[in-house]
């Protein structure tokens, strides 16, 4: 993990900034979300990818890319959470007094 952070910090910063931007603008999005079936399929796929990574079933360069992709995905999601929370705090509108 330290190896990934040391040599790919630029990519991780880029993933965090992209996540921050998406989190910032996603608060104002009014579209429909994914269906429950799609979310379950994505969750299973992500769980399988994490399990494969932890068990080191993919050797060599492909395993390295899998690990890097999963780490960047976590950094992206953290950026999304931070961006949406910051936008909610900065752009919050106070309700008029009753």
Sequence spans of domains, the chain:
2-25+34-90
Cα 5 to Cα 1, 9, 48, 60, 93, distances in angstroms: 6, 5, 23, 18, 38
What is the model's pTM?
0.82
First-to-final CA distance of the chain? 53
What proportion of the chain, given as a percentage, has pLDDT over 70? 89
Structure tokens at 95: 């309700």
Distance CA 87, CA 9 (A): 25
Distance CA 71, CA 5 (A): 9
pLDDT surpasses 80 at 4: no
């Amino acid at each position: 993990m330290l190896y990934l952070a040391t040599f790919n910090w630029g990519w991780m910063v880029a993933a965090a900034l992209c996540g921050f931007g998406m989190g910032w603008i996603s608060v104002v999005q009014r579209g429909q979300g994914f269906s429950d079936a799609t979310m379950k399929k994505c969750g299973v796929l992500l769980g399988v990818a994490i399990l494969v990574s932890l068990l080191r079933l993919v050797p060599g360069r492909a395993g390295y890319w899998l690990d890097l992709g999963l780490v960047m995905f976590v950094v992206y999601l953290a950026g999304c959470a931070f961006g949406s929370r910051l936008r909610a705090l900065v752009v919050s509108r106070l309700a008029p007094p009753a």
